[in-house]
A and B are shown apart, each in its own frame.
Chain A
Amino acid sequence: MQDVAKVYDGGTVAVRDIDLEIFKGEFVFFVGPSGSGKSTLIRLMLRQELPTSGQIWVAGKEITALPGWKVPLLRRSIGTVFQDFKLLPSKTVHENVAFALEVIGRPKHVIRSQVPQVLKLVGLAAKADRLPNQLSGGEQQRVSIARAFVNRPLILLADEPTGNLDPATSVGIMRLLDRINRTGTTVVMATHDHAIVDAMRRRVVALERGRVIRDQSRGAYQMGDEPVGVSQGIEHDLNEG
């Protein structure tokens, strides 16, 4: 991102002076209080929003000048995970994941082989025929991660993926995101979950009122924070996984 700013109608400045480079295969946290601009950055990368000024490159392509009909192609190279899972309640786990491939026109045999594979990756192979409301929150988030990853995107954007989950369940989700990151997928995650950020020790981009106030590799949620207690446990778990 180069000199990116986004001003919403009505003059609210969501982000400003953003100069940020995220490398292929990185795991990056966007941290900061509500309204600091984390979600806006994610929306900008997805081209759900256009920046008021500046330029954004995703996978080597400048996306602010992208014609509308190419936006779907951009989004096929990005997987997305949200706090509220965004699963279709009337579809089974398998159907929810398959849906992502169906609507981009993947042939049936690809769907048949890819979906079980990714469900196995997220540990839900046995629950493929359940409906979302028969699953726990953590399991639902796994389904949504499976859906985001089934097309093997270059980038995975996660906006508060653990926001609705208890700490123990969050650990499982983070382990999963970490595993996906190790396949070479760039993971960008917006969060305000201190414990997770502190435990993972990955690059941290801290935002406040729309500006980057800190960009630190292997950082903690707050400057000077050290991983303690439970967090160390997570770190240990993650290394095991």
Chain B
Amino acid sequence: MRLQYILEQAIANLRRNILVVFSAVVAVLVMLALVFATIVIRWSIDRDIIQWDDNVRVIAFLNDDLSLEEIGTMQAEVQGWDQVDEVIYFTKTQALEEFREIFFDQPSLIEIVEEDPSILPASLRIKPTEAADYSGIRDRLVVMEGVYKVSAAEDAIDALVSRAGTMRGFALWIMVILGAAAVVLIANTIRIAIFARRDEIGIMKLVGAGNWFVRVPFLLEGVIEGMIGAALAVSLVWAFGGPIAELLSTASSASAPPNDFMFRQAFVLLGFGATTGLVGSAFGMWGFLRD
């Protein structure tokens, strides 16, 4: 009965100030949608970085018609250059293996590659002695017989790493600024709710209602506001996260993060929304609901 009472109170409060509640929910929604979008984008960036493994900076993709001896000769030649620290021959099988690892969550992609292994060429993966040497190595590889494409990932890696850093900073600032706004807006709705019910609260205190019995409906109201905002943010990003990630990612094969990752983040976000609501209502009640 008490639980029912508390819930009824919280919901009645939410209804009473629907406009103010709306603004608080929107603040939480915008904050958490931006945060969630940032998390999704960062996920794709991180995956791009994995793709360009740190140890392999220059990749020479080889023509499919080369024999093993020819490849051996090429490997030995490249190994002979003084800018080169190490040359690894990466077979088609290994490439497929790596592809499977990266796209473990996308069986349709893996299927395509397995049906037509020529999509993934064999390659020489070359580690420069100095990171800065990569352009020299690239220039020499490009003119080499049997190499059909050279990929020097340095620029991309630099860009990605710095973008990841920017993203992190961006997300943090969004959380701080919009989080503060959301807390203030929720505090405001709580204060209005308390004001609207001040007579009732006065009587409750007079007849000896427990302090928490008086407070909990208001805390709950804030938590509900925060969680509605968070739930909306989650559904919004879930619906549009994939396209956003695709838009911003440098990888040719960008895709939406897997569902279990999304679920985990969604729970974190809901928790975050609830916490924002709780802090907001605590601020709203500050000094108001003492005995």
Q: Do A and B come from one complex?
A: yes
B197 nearest in chain A by CB position: A88
Q: How many whole Å from A204's CB to the nearest CB in chain B?
A: 26
Q: Which residues of A contact B50 (CB under 8 A)?
A: none
Find residues 178-193 in chain A having any chain B CB closer than 8 Å to their own CB: none
Q: Is A99 in contact with B203, judged by CB distance below 8 angstroms? A: yes
Among B199, B210, B211, the one with the most A-chain Cβ atoms within 10 Å of its Cβ is B210
Determine if B204 is an interface residue (Cβ-Cβ < 8 Å): yes
Q: Is A103 in contact with B291, judged by CB distance below 8 angstroms? A: no
Instruction: Kindly supply a per-residue 1/0 record for chain B positions 182-204, scoring 1 wherever the CB is within 8 Å of any chain A CB and 0 otherwise.
Output: 00000000000000000110111
The contact of A104 among B199, B200, B208, by CB within 8 Å, is: B208
Q: Is A47 in contact with B203, judged by CB distance below 8 angstroms? A: no
CA distance A124 to B203 in the complex (A): 21
CA distance A48 to B290 in the complex (A): 10
Determine if A74 is an interface residue (Cβ-Cβ < 8 Å): yes
Instruction: Kindly supply a per-residue 1/0 record for chain B positions 1-27, scoring 1 wherever the CB is within 8 Å of any chain A CB and 0 otherwise.
Output: 110010000000000000000000000
Determine if A141 is an interface residue (Cβ-Cβ < 8 Å): no
Instruction: Kindly supply a per-residue 1/0 record for chain A positions 36-80, scoring 1 wherever the CB is within 8 Å of any chain B CB and 0 otherwise.
Output: 000000000011100000000000000000001101111111101
Q: Is B208 in contact with A69, judged by CB distance below 8 angstroms? A: no
Determine if A151 is an interface residue (Cβ-Cβ < 8 Å): yes
Determine if B247 is an interface residue (Cβ-Cβ < 8 Å): no
Determine if A11 is an interface residue (Cβ-Cβ < 8 Å): no
Q: Is B5 in contact with A102, judged by CB distance below 8 angstroms? A: yes
Q: Which secondary structure dominates where chain B touches chain A?
A: helix
Q: Is A68 in contact with B202, judged by CB distance below 8 angstroms? A: no
CA distance A102 to B202 in the complex (A): 15
Q: Is B211 in contact with A69, judged by CB distance below 8 angstroms? A: yes
A107 nearest in chain B by CB position: B1
Among A77, A86, A102, A103, the one with the most B-chain Cβ atoms within 10 Å of its Cβ is A103
CA distance A230 to B58 in the complex (A): 111
Tally of contact residues, B, Cβ under 8 A: 18
Contacts A47-B291, A102-B5 given; indicate if A76 touches B207 (C-beta within 8 A). yes
Q: Is B211 in contact with A74, judged by CB distance below 8 angstroms? A: no
Q: Which residues of A contact B203 (CB under 8 A)?
A: 86, 88, 99-100
Among A71, A148, A151, the one with the most B-chain Cβ atoms within 10 Å of its Cβ is A71
Q: Which residues of A contact B92 (CB under 8 A)?
A: none
Q: Is B213 in contact with A103, judged by CB distance below 8 angstroms? A: yes
CA distance A99 to B209 in the complex (A): 10
CA distance A88 to B203 in the complex (A): 9
Determine if B206 is an interface residue (Cβ-Cβ < 8 Å): yes
Q: Is A75 in contact with B205, judged by CB distance below 8 angstroms? A: yes
Q: How many whole Å from B211's CB to the nearest CB in chain A?
A: 6
Contacts A105-B213, A108-B1 given; indicate if A86 touches B207 (C-beta within 8 A). no
CA distance A88 to B199 in the complex (A): 7
Q: How many whole Å from B134's CB to the nearest CB in chain A?
A: 68
Q: Is A103 in contact with B199, judged by CB distance below 8 angstroms? A: no
Q: Is B208 in contact with A74, judged by CB distance below 8 angstroms? A: yes
A74 nearest in chain B by CB position: B208
CA distance A12 to B200 in the complex (A): 30
Chain A contact residues, CB within 8 Å of chain B: 46-48, 68-69, 71-78, 80, 86, 88, 99-100, 102-105, 107-108, 147-148, 151
Q: What would 9 more interface pairs be, CB under 8 Å, given A48-B291, A105-B213?
A: A46-B206, A71-B291, A77-B208, A78-B208, A80-B207, A86-B203, A103-B209, A105-B2, A151-B207
Pairs A–B under 8 Å by Cβ, sample size 24: A47-B291, A68-B211, A68-B290, A68-B291, A72-B211, A72-B291, A74-B208, A76-B207, A76-B208, A77-B208, A78-B208, A80-B207, A86-B199, A88-B203, A102-B1, A103-B209, A104-B207, A104-B208, A104-B210, A105-B1, A105-B213, A107-B1, A108-B1, A147-B207
Which 8 A-B residue pairings sit nearest by Cβ, starting from the closest?
A: A76-B208, A75-B208, A103-B209, A100-B207, A72-B208, A103-B204, A71-B291, A72-B210
